[in-house]
Amino acid sequence: MSYTFTLDGKVVPFVDGQTIIQAASAAGIFIPHLCYHPEFKPHGSCKLCTVKVNGRHTASCTMRAAPGMVVESETEEINAERRALTQMLFVEGNHFCPSCEKSGNCQLQATAYHLGMMSAHYDHFFPNRAVDASHPEALLDFNRCILCSLCVRASRDVDGKNVFGLSGRGIKTHLIVNAKSGRLADTDFTLADKAAQVCPVGVILKKRQGFAVPIGERKYDKAPISETAETTEGR
């Protein structure tokens, strides 16, 4: 069956079982998101995709669309809240974009641009996190991990490997790899893994790729995230 709901006043069609974000992106409407990826089971942790449904805040990547829902997304209030979330992610880790290979291709950065984030606002935590360069082909820079668990889901659900996992709790939550030594080199990870391709930020990086595409000519330099293909596949 096909039904509709309204999103910022626009009528959006959906089919049974679709989430709000799925229906929106099928209709070419961008809702900011970080832990959601169309190929994986939604996780609902980053909260960037929060919208108001009939006046109540809810994550649009986990909420199923229902007929007649009134959804607000691009309002000043919600975008200010989303901006605060990106600021939290920036101060929680160590994000020095000028020296990050992901810069220009990074979803966190592009989302922050979209939301008009001029500074991280909060006081920086400057956590002490490691870099794992043990693997011959890939580098892990934990300083930038936003705990979206996409690599965890990709490795488990697509690669069937469980290379990545989350451990710790609260602000001490962190990414771990599947080896007693704690080193990526001692896991069965390869660059061909789906997990090697899904990180929205600059944690899981291919080695010896440094600045192959110059800054200024990268994905989100060309078009803002709200206008790139995979987020609004329906256009």
Partner 1 sequence: MGLNEMHAEAVAGVVDRVINRYRRDPTCMLQILREVQEACDWVPPEAIDRMQAMLGVPRTKIEGVAGFYSFIYTEPRGKYRVLFSDNITDRMQGNRALMERLCSNLWVERGKVSEDGLVSVGKTACTGLCDQGPGMLVNNYAIAGLNLERIDEIAELIRNKVPLADWPPAYFRIEDNIRRADILLNADFTPGEALLAARARAPSDGLNASNMRSWREGLPSGIGGPGATLDEIKRSGLRGRGGAGFTTGLKWEACRNAQLKAGHQRIVVCNADEGEPGTFKDRVLLSKCPDLVFEGMTVAAYAIGATRGFVYLRGEYRYLLDHLNAVLAHRRRQNLLGKDICGLPGADFDIEIHVGAGAYVCGEESALIESLEGKRGTPRNRPPFPVTNGYLDQPTIVNNVETFAAAALIALRGGEWYAGIGTKQSAGTKILSVSGDCERPGIYEYPFGVSIRQVLADCGATDTQAVQVSGPSGICVAENEFDRIIGFEDIPTAGAFTIFNKSRDMFEVARNYVHFFQHESCGFCTPCRVGTSLLKNLMDKLHYGSGSPYDFAEIEKLNQLLQSMSHCGLGHTACNPVLDTIAKFRPAYDKRMMQQDFTPAFDLDRELSSARQMTGRDDAGAHLETEHGGQS
Partner 2 sequence: MTAKKKLKVATTSLAGCFGCHMSFLDIDERLFTLLEHIEFDRSPLTDIKTCSPDCDIGIIEGGLCNAENVHVLREFRKNCKILIAMGACAINGGLPAQRNHLPLTTILEEVYHTSPGLANGMVPNDPELPLPLNQVHPIHEVVKIDYFMPGCPPSADAIWKVLTDLLAGKEPELGHGLMHYD
2 interacts with partner 1 by CB under 8 A: no
- 86 touches ligand FES by CB under 6 A: no
Nearest approach, Cβ of residue 165 and ligand FES (Å): 19
Among 58, 87, 109, 232, binds ligand SF4 (CB under 6 A): 109
Pick the closer one to partner 2 by CB: 122 or 136: 122
For residues 61 and 44, give the distance between their C-alpha atoms in angstroms, rounded to a whole number. 6
User: Any contact of residue 45 with ligand FES (CB under 6 A)?
Assistant: yes
From the number of C-beta atoms within 10 Å of its C-beta (0-12, 13-18, 19+), residue 181 rates as exposed
Binding residues with partner 1: total (CB under 8 A): 41
> Does 47 engage in binding with ligand FES (CB under 6 A)?
yes
| Rounded Cα gap, residues 222 and 173, in angstroms | 34
Which member of 82, 102, 114, 194 binds ligand SF4 (CB under 6 A)?
102
Applying CB under 6 A, the span of 2-10, 27-35, 71-79, 117-125 interacting with ligand FES comes to: 27-35
C-beta of residue 105 within 8 angstroms of C-beta of residue 41? no
Exposure string of 74-102, with b = 16+ CB inside 10 Å and e = fewer, is eeeebeeebbebbbbbbbbbbbebeebbb
Contact yes or no for 85/46 (Cβ under 8 A): yes
Instruction: State yes or no: residue 124 binds partner 2 (CB under 8 A).
Output: yes
Give the burial string for 119-151 (b: 16+ CB within 10 Å, else e). ebeeeeeeeeeeebebbeebbbbbbbbbbbbbb
Which among ligand SF4, ligand FES, partner 1, none contacts residue 49 (Cβ within 5 to 8 A by kind)?
ligand FES
Interacting residue with partner 1 among 3, 79, 91, 191 (CB under 8 A): 91
Q: Per CB under 8 A, does 191 bind partner 1?
A: no
Binding mask 180-219 vs partner 2 (x if CB under 8 A, - otherwise)? -----------------------------------x----
Determine, following the binding rule CB under 6 A, whether residue 203 of this chain makes contact with ligand SF4: yes
Residues 199, 187: Cα–Cα separation, whole Å: 18
Chain residues binding ligand FES by CB under 6 A are: 33-36, 44-49, 59, 61
Chain residues binding ligand SF4 by CB under 6 A are: 95-97, 100, 102-103, 106, 108-109, 144-151, 164, 175, 198-199, 201-204
